[in-house]
Structure 1
Amino acid sequence: MKNYQLWLICLVTLLLSACANKPSTQAWLTKDISINLPSAGLNQAYHDQQLLTFHYHDKQNSLITVVDADAQSLNVVGLSTLGIRLFNIEYRDNHIKTEQNIFIKELPSASQILSDIMLSIYPLEQWQSVLPTGWQLVDEKLHRKLLNPQRDVIIDITYLQPPSSQMRKPILIEHHIFGYQINIESME
């Protein structure tokens, strides 16, 4: 439990947000720039059970997530590495609904968790309409990069080479502004 609490506190510090009574659909790209998330609909069904290993300030913590996305919604279930259900986040009709099963004083914003997931699996077209002027999301082989107007890489997502019939799955998310790295290992 202590490991989980440390992970949450680190993530809260990184994402500069705390859980609110009414979760916002706004997420932070940098410490000064926020956006509204694109709509939750995804043309192709997506499912993945993942072990997330979070690295920040020479500390490492892990969390299991189950991610399901379809044409109507995105759902993320968070579990401790022991399998205890910690939270559920559902994004549907431009509203975020969160359920926290274990009370912890500080939790990251649901929209920030969704933002990293959506940046890694949703099509570029869905993101371009919500990005600030001059910002770009670019796919380059096994990488997706979020670039600011100066062409600095803000977020770099690395993918595993998928079989041709499947969506590619992220294996690493690096946020250069907030200084964290998430290694993603599919458990399927």
Structure 2
Amino acid sequence: MKRIQYWLMCFITLLLCSCANKPISPETWLTKGVKVNLPAPHFDQVYHDQQLLTFSYNGQQHSLITMIDAQNDALSVVGLSTLGIRLFKIDYYGKVITTEQNIFIKELPSASQILSDIMFSILPIEQWQPLLPKGWQLIDTNEQRLLINEQQQTVIEIKYRQPPSSQIRKPTNIKHYIFGYQIAISSME
């Protein structure tokens, strides 16, 4: 009986350790061979949103709920299953990103890729442009944002719904042409 209790305690300890906060590098992959630093978060406005994200990849669809809180120099993202089970939490403050991965679902993008997509969609292009490779650019209109590589090919396309003029734009769709996925975004607020 003591041996079973010992192994049960070891298993619980390992499970708890796997859910601990882990710092990750503030970087993201734009393509399979191009990696850039993420800009440090800086928000002139407070941004809160609850979103239903529907990922389409390889002919399959999977959904995820995110709760996003951004203000000043901090960004926090909590990912939940559609049943409300917490999957992960990401905190980005200053130059430090910590993640807490509660449950990993291989059909969904990694927490760091979700963070990158959120940052590409809500941060001003002025914060991104100095970090992009030479020849890459972000092009903004009221309805969309395009990330263009040095060969003038679209890498990421983000579509927006028009907010009141005093608010940050909220994305409705993100399409990553290189990685082959698309995210339909519905605001739940």
Return the TM-score normalized by structure 2: 0.84
Matches of residues 89-100 of structure 1 in structure 2 within 5 Å? 89-100=90-101
Matches of residues 21-32 of structure 1 in structure 2 within 5 Å? 22-32=23-33
Percent identity among equivalent residues?
Answer: 60
RMSD of equivalent CA atoms: 1.7
* Higher share of residues assigned strand: 2
Is there any run of 5+ residues in structure 1 with no aligned partner, and where? 1-20
Is the contact between residue 23 and residue 109 of structure 1 (CA under 8 Å) also seen in structure 2?
no
Matches of residues 68-83 of structure 1 in structure 2 within 5 Å? 68-83=69-84
CA deviation after TM superposition for structure 1 residue 164, in Å: 2.2
Q: Number of residue pairs matched? A: 168
Report whether the alignment pairs 1:62 with 2:70.
Answer: no
CA deviation map 1:110-169 (0-9, x unaligned): 432211000000001000111111110110230000000111110000001112232210
Equivalent position of 2:160 in the other structure: 159
Is the contact between residue 142 and residue 162 of structure 2 (CA under 8 Å) also seen in structure 1?
no
Report whether the alignment pairs 1:140 with 2:145.
Answer: no
Q: If you compute each CA radius of gyration, which structure gives the higher value, 1 or 2?
A: 2
Runs (4+) of structure 1 exceeding 4 A deviation are: 105-109
CA deviation after TM superposition for structure 1 residue 22, in Å: 4.0
Relative contact order, higher structure (CA 8 A, sep 6+): 1
2-structure distance, mates of 1:182, 1:108? 10
1-structure distance, mates of 2:35, 2:134? 12
CA deviation after TM superposition for structure 1 residue 108, in Å: 4.8
Is the contact between residue 88 and residue 111 of structure 2 (CA under 8 Å) also seen in structure 1?
no
